[in-house]
Amino acid sequence: MSETNAFDNAIAQIENASGCCSNSDKKLIEILKFPQKIIEVSIPLRMDNGSIRVFTGFRVQHNNARGPYKGGVRFHPGVTLDEVKALSLWMSMKCAVVNIPYGGAKGGIIVDPKKLTGHELEHLTRGYVDKVFDFIGPIKDVPAPDVNTNAQTMAWIMDEYSLLSREHSPAVVTGKPVANEGSLGRDTATAMGGKHVLLEYLKAKGVNPKTMTVAVQGFGNAGYNIAKLLHDEGMSIVAIADSKGTVYNESGIDPMRALKYKEKHGSIKNLPDSVEIKSEEIFGLDCDVLIPAALENAIDHKIAKTVKAKIILELANGPITPEADIILKEKNITVIPDILANSGGVTVSYFEWVQNLSRDYWTLETVENKLREIMVNAFTDIYNFANRKKATMRSAAFALAMNRIIEATKNRGILS
């Protein structure tokens, strides 16, 4: 994995797309390169053995011209401020791409959650909420799950915020358990959105999905679900990778069987009826669709030279560096960018927020139909824009998002 700075990548993407913007006011585009607010906090935690540790946490609020800040909270030892800044910028773009009324934010704590007990993890989460309480809220900034956080984490955030605010506040966070006013369909939303976008692209190109082979790098929630959904569509999943192993079978892998194996053994390493390959080799497999579904910067300029897939569906945030983008374009490899491909998650988060605010809860069918409509419309806008401008889908997605944020900025008169 490349050590390229994620925030530098995000800025490069804005600059690359600026030429496609109809509202090419350089001053306003410049605004998008800077987060509106950066919050850094120290969270003291009494460990179960009685010792005291202090953890560093961040909340970066990039832009709220189009609505409240929105973005996940990740717990990971590799969290950095620049990473969180980049993720917050991408969230602004992502929400604008699917045209939902949010801005972008992101949060993180530098911690390896696997080394904490459940009790310690809960109190770390509550400690983070205590520190950022003044900056979040149902119509201010709405967190959500991200790497190493889940529905349980969100339930703790909602509860702690409700205790501090002295009122029940389910809309302060999305991605909650359904029993705690979460939305149906949230668990599979990111993958479901990615599936809709990929199928629309294949339809536009006149390609039969059942002829496609797929490699998925990352076998967490999003990676597993996209593998299963595409497998159900008749595509052949020829390779999957998690943090401990990468396996390949040219005849196809059953994602559900692989998940059961991983749940039992802790990894897909040594999955029966498959061949173990090196982690970086998954990027160079001779397949039709490559899906990076793990962390950012997975595909740098060196890895890009090895890619043989015809299509890359970015289910992770920022998995391709700008240098790699140039190489992939030269190789005529279509990249369906993250701010479109993985925006199903924030879209269903928006649905959850609307349901919490209105106290009107929807069926799974309603959620899935609304998600499909939004994803298809977003794909169509970007695909047509890219064709008109003869631009990559990434530049088209960024340009459309930037135009929408710039328009909102001008309308609000944020600049004197």
pLDDT one-digit tens code per residue, 8-24 = 989 988 998 888 876 55
pLDDT band at 1 (very low <50, low <70, confident <90, very high): very low
Residue with tokens 């490349």: 2
For residue 390, which amino acid is it? K
Closest CA to 190 of 156, 229, 234, 154: 229
pLDDT band at 6 (very low <50, low <70, confident <90, very high): confident
pLDDT band at 28 (very low <50, low <70, confident <90, very high): confident
Residue with tokens 């497999």: 285
By percentage, how much of the chain surpasses pLDDT 70?
A: 97
| Domains in the chain with CATH codes | 6-179 (3.40.50.10860), 189-336 (3.40.50.720)
Residue numbering of the annotated binding site for substrate: 70, 94, 349
pLDDT at 24: 56
Residue with tokens 């800040």: 69
> Taking 70 as the threshold, does the pLDDT of residue 209 lie above it?
yes
pTM score, whole prediction: 0.93
**Diameter over CA atoms, the chain:** 65
Distance CA 369, CA 354 (A): 16
115 carries an active-site annotation: no
Kindly report the average pLDDT of the chain as a whole number.
Answer: 95
DSSP 3-state percent helix, strand, coil across the chain (nearest 5): 50, 15, 35
pLDDT at 22: 66
Q: What is the mean pLDDT of residues 156-173?
A: 98
pLDDT at 2: 45
Q: What is the mean pLDDT of residues 145-155?
A: 95
- Residue 192 backbone dihedrals phi, psi, to 5 degrees: -60, -45
Per-residue pLDDT tens over the stretch 57-115: 999 999 999 999 999 999 999 999 999 999 999 999 999 999 999 999 999 999 999 99
Distance CA 260, CA 271 (A): 10
**Could you say which of 85, 106, 176, 195 is catalytic?**
106
Residue numbering of the annotated binding site for NAD(+): 190, 221
Distance CA 219, CA 292 (A): 10
In sequence order, the 6+-apart residues with CB closer than 8 A to the CB of 211 are 288
In sequence order, the 6+-apart residues with CB closer than 8 A to the CB of 10 are 85, 86, 89, 90, 318
Beta-bridged to residue 214, according to DSSP, are: 237, 289
Cα 139 to chain centroid distance, Å, stands at: 22
Distance CA 218, CA 174 (A): 23
Residue numbering of the annotated binding site: 70, 94, 190, 221, 349
